[in-house]
Amino acid sequence: MATGNVPRPPDPPGPRTGYLPWHGRRWPRARTAAIGVVLAGYAWAAGAAEPFSTTSLVFVLIPGVVVAAIAVAWPPQRIPPPEKLDITGMFYWVIAVAALFEWEASAWKDNSLPWHPSLTDLINPLLGPHLVKSVAILLWICVGWALVRR
């Protein structure tokens, strides 16, 4: 979206020829695999919770609190703002977001009639199966982590 180059962090010192990123790094790979298994199990358990229950609220709050605590304790290094913004690209995003807000507002005003359902009414049947709901929760947790790491 931004025009102009964003500075890239410098390369680490030392020779890079013949460097294999997985060589001699078994512990981080095992730790990453263990974290992935734990998160998949957590998402599976959260997907089994009844919607709008106290259990599902707790399942949503736990990763939110953990990610928020990580973001506060170890703030990410900020990317400097660009010199110039791409106004055309930003305008396309504003149009898309405004259209979604208008859809939700008009569906709420019309009391979500069958001929004009809200986005939530359209997505709920898709998230009905346990596997799909669990994958959506896992994706939500990963997106939260990606935002914190950024």
Q: What pTM does this model have? A: 0.63
Domain boundaries along the sequence of the chain: 26-92+130-148
Q: Counting Cβ atoms within 10 Å, is residue 97 exposed (0-12), middle (13-18) or buried (19+)?
A: exposed
Give 150's pLDDT tier (boundaries 50, 70, 90). low
CB 148 within 8 A of CB 71: yes
Phi, psi of 95 (to 5 degrees): -65, -45
pLDDT value for 118: 80
Using one digit for the tens of pLDDT, what is the confidence trace for 58-87?
A: 999 999 898 889 888 888 777 788 888 888
Mean pLDDT value of segment 19-42: 76
User: What H or E segment, with its residue span, contains residue 29?
Assistant: helix 26-48
CA distances from 72 to 3, 67, 75, 94, 123 (A): 30, 9, 6, 29, 32
